Structure 1
């Protein structure tokens, strides 16, 4: 007896649409959905919300927090945390302006001095964590206070210098390339570079391995100390770049104003974007989507005249929500409850 087999159909997993959805990821799809809802709500409440000028303003405002969120992603994937990035940006902002004015208005020297300070601060964070055997949260929490204090000491707590008559700082703050502001291009370039580093290089694979299981990574011959210190140096450099952009945008070095709260924004964006705070998971794409979501939410709430205190509450709730979702997704045991 012969049987006739039914014509074969492509496996559901091979369908282009399904493959595209799997490539985007459930986390990113949820962020895209949330962003669409936020845009729809505030777009209906305010006719100017979706105007090109306002959208550009959202992008520019999110640039500094976005830079810090991208580099925070690297640190978290590596199994660390950097709570001091906002203070680092404030210190770099002051140094860039003070170096600019003290060297006869030399913008390259101001930028170079800020980047050098950022690298040194990142190196200090990494050294305290690795060689001092201090928990990253405690070490960078100390850095949050210390670097803010240094910035206030060297500036007497006041804005320093004036850079708005310099061509380089003007280009950084108000310049355009192919119709887009320079600041947004800088964020895009940094994000693409970090994405390529994480996804397509051995360095990136080792970073994920360290965050996923540091014992296995060490047994595999990966130098954990070198990678962790390098991650914090990178964090310091990008935080310094954010500080330079802060100086260019405000026209002077800002020891606190403009940089306070950036650490919370960067951690919130990384967590919302899918980074596991235990390390080993995350990516730049999700982080950027979260930065866009936070930027749109903040801009929309400001446009509606909502008190900034409530904006801080909303940001805190988003961070807690992101961590709860991670805990549920990973099926981690709740603290104090039986397994």
Structure 2
């Protein structure tokens, strides 16, 4: 046996090192999303060269920020074996509260920000406590709070936009400022995504979240306090939804009870499913969800640029969500409901 047989050539190692981090962040199953994104960009760029204009591409990045934040935190919830349908309503109520607190305190942006975060913590805690101690399925629980939080936002605002925040430096910076050439909302999305990616991949908390979603019985036998984790994950979802609501307030210049947050939950779930999250839990990556967010943003923008009726965006989102779930079922090898094996 020669030395070459014992020690493989060192030249092959750097290639493996560069591939693995990329696949770890994106997820091996999400390389198809990159191909789909390339196709979408190529098609809409050919149909209308204005689609590839740097200003339009930057606009896509800004447009996906709010639902992108909800999508990445929805990823954490889904990995843990839950689903939060109320994130859009939580963003709406946080938007209203941030503007109303800002106005009531004579223009104190910090108190408006803190009030919105407090609402996010409270809303997320209510979701978690209903699910854990009420023993209610997360879909049913958050479907109920979706309606409840939307109703609260409309009640406290009278169903109208509240306050005006664009005469304040903080909200102006949040809406129009830039950091290293990137719009502030995009920077916030990147930072939140990096934080959640680090949490899931490099901490015991993240490993426990995957374990709970993958097999809650085994996780319980391993000594993981599942109830505590579920409540904490839904509180985290409330906090990120509140941040999304504050960005919504800054963008529109006022607190939006419904109009700005309507349908965000569907987009967030669609992005998470497209990004490779198993809706039964235990599987998913932040990188894959971000790719899906960009794909959905490019698709929405492209349809607008080429003059397609905006109602078709909802049709496209619905079919994409259905397609993502079908692909997951096929990959899992589970028997189709009502059909023979």
With normalisation by structure 1, the TM-score equals: 0.95
How far off is 1:27 after superposition?
Answer: 2.2
Q: Which residue of 2 aligns with 1:146?
A: 148
Structure-2 residue corresponding to 1:51:
53
Task: Please state if 1:325 is matched with 2:327.
Answer: yes
Matches of 1:107 and 1:50, distance apart in 2: 36
CA distance in 2, matches of 1:167, 1:14: 51
Q: Distance in 1 between matches of 2:74 and 2:177?
A: 27
Alignment of 1:27-176 (within 5 A): 27-176=29-178
Q: Deviations over 1:272-293 (max 9, x none)?
A: 0000000000010000000000
Instruction: Give a deviation string over 1:73-125, Cα, whole Å, max 9, x none.
Output: 00000000000000000000000000000110110000100000000000000
Q: Which moved more, 1:13-22 or 1:95-104?
A: 13-22
Aligned-pair CA distance for 1:14: 6.1
Structure 1 equivalent of residue 19 of structure 2: 20
Paired position in structure 1 for 2:224? 222
Rounded Cα–Cα distance in structure 2 between residues aligned with 1:306 and 1:103: 44
Are 2:207 and 1:208 aligned? no
Equivalent position of 1:186 in the other structure: 188
| SS in structure 2 of the partner of residue 49 of structure 1 | helix
Structure 2: how far apart are the matches of 1:31 and 1:45?
Answer: 21
Query: 2:89 & 2:27 partners in 1: Cα distance?
Result: 33
- Which residue is 1:257 aligned to? 259
Rounded Cα–Cα distance in structure 2 between residues aligned with 1:165 and 1:43? 38
TM-score, scaled relative to structure 2? 0.95
Asked if 1:232 corresponds to 2:234, the answer is: yes
Report how far residue 25 of structure 1 moved. 4.0
Gaps spanning 5+ residues in structure 2: where? none
Give secondary structure in 1 for the equivalent of 2:103.
Answer: helix
How much has 1:26 moved relative to structure 2? 3.7
User: Deviation digits for residues 43-74 of structure 1, max 9, x if unmatched?
Assistant: 11111111111111000000001000010000
Distance across 2 between alignment mates of 1:28 and 1:337: 29
Contact 2:27 2:285 in 1 (8 A): no
Distance 1:70 1:332 in 2: 27
1:278 & 1:148 partners in 2: Cα distance? 27
CA deviation vs aligned residue, 1:221-276 (integer Å, no higher than 9, x gap): 00000000000000000000000000000000000111000000000000000000
SS at match of 1:146: helix
CA distance in structure 1 between the partners assigned to 2:66 and 2:286 by the alignment:
15
Find 1:293's aligned residue among 292, 295, 313. Answer: 295
- How many corresponding residue pairs? 336
Gaps of 5+ in 1: none
> What is the alpha-carbon distance in structure 1 between the residues aligned to residue 17 and residue 322 of structure 2?
31
